[in-house]
């Protein structure tokens, strides 16, 4: 099995791979839910030995600069481990800048959410640094809400593309 960067297939050297039986409770943690069978570190080609006959039911991998990822049970046959490749998504960030195109309204809140983080209230500040995924077009949800009526004014989905380990300066006009 090789651990590679999502979108580029560049091998990830030094990734830690956990071979488990019975589930993944967290990276490198052993508890009553599952048993850690083996821990290995990838070589310069991203390779680790994976003995499918050793009772491994779950694999988790993590590396500095990447989001950790786990494959469970039948998921080991899914696309992210297809052809012996296990893809890790690289960290990236979005500097989310808010520009108010209409007169300032203190009764309006802006929320933003990425698949890699939770909602933020952006009313008080003009920008926020958000975690994101490199080499992917994941969705970024922007919601405008009224404080007075606690109702949704509008919601928009955008799909910014950010290179791995990079920061995109994104301007949102509302």
Same domain, 61 and 118: no
Element (H, E) at 82: none
- What CA–CA distance (Å, rounded) separates 135 from 7? 6
Residue 35 has a pLDDT of 72
Question: Which tens digits make up the pLDDT trace of 109-150?
Answer: 787 877 766 555 554 456 677 778 888 777 888 888 888 888
How many distinct structural domains can be found in the chain? Answer: 2
Domain extent for 36 = 2-88
Same domain, 69 and 103: no
Same domain, 69 and 12: yes
Same domain, 20 and 72: yes
Same domain, 69 and 97: no
Same domain, 74 and 140: no
- What CA–CA distance (Å, rounded) separates 39 from 62? 11
Residue 32 has a pLDDT of 42
Same domain, 82 and 96: no
| pTM of the shown model | 0.71
Q: List the structure tokens of 48.
A: 């680790």
Same domain, 84 and 7: yes
Question: Which tens digits make up the pLDDT trace of 28-87?
Answer: 444 445 677 778 899 999 998 776 666 677 778 889 999 888 776 655 555 555 557 788
**Strand segments (E) across the chain:** 2-5, 16-21, 35-41, 58-62, 69-72, 85-88, 91-99, 108-113, 120-121, 127-133, 140-146, 151-158, 167-173
Residue 23: give its domain's CATH number: 2.60.40
Helices H / strands E in the chain, number of each? 0, 13
């Amino acid at each position: 099995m090789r651990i590679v960067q999502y979108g580029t297939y560049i091998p990830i050297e030094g990734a830690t791979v956990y071979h488990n039986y019975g589930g993944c409770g967290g990276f490198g943690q052993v508890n009553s839910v599952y048993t850690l069978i083996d821990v290995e570190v990838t070589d310069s080609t991203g390779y680790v030995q994976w003995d499918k006959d050793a009772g491994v039911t779950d694999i988790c991998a993590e590396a500095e600069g990447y989001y950790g990822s786990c494959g469970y049970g039948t998921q080991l046959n899914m696309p992210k481990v297809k052809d012996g490749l296990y893809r890790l998504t690289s960290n990236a960030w979005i500097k989310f800048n808010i520009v108010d195109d209409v007169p300032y309204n203190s009764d309006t809140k802006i929320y933003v959410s990425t698949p890699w983080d939770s909602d933020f209230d952006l009313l008080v500040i003009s920008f926020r640094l958000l975690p994101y995924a490199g080499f992917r077009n994941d969705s970024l949800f922007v919601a405008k809400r009224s404080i007075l009526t606690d109702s949704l004014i509008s919601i928009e989905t955008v799909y910014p593309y950010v290179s791995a380990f990079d920061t995109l300066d994104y301007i949102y006009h509302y």
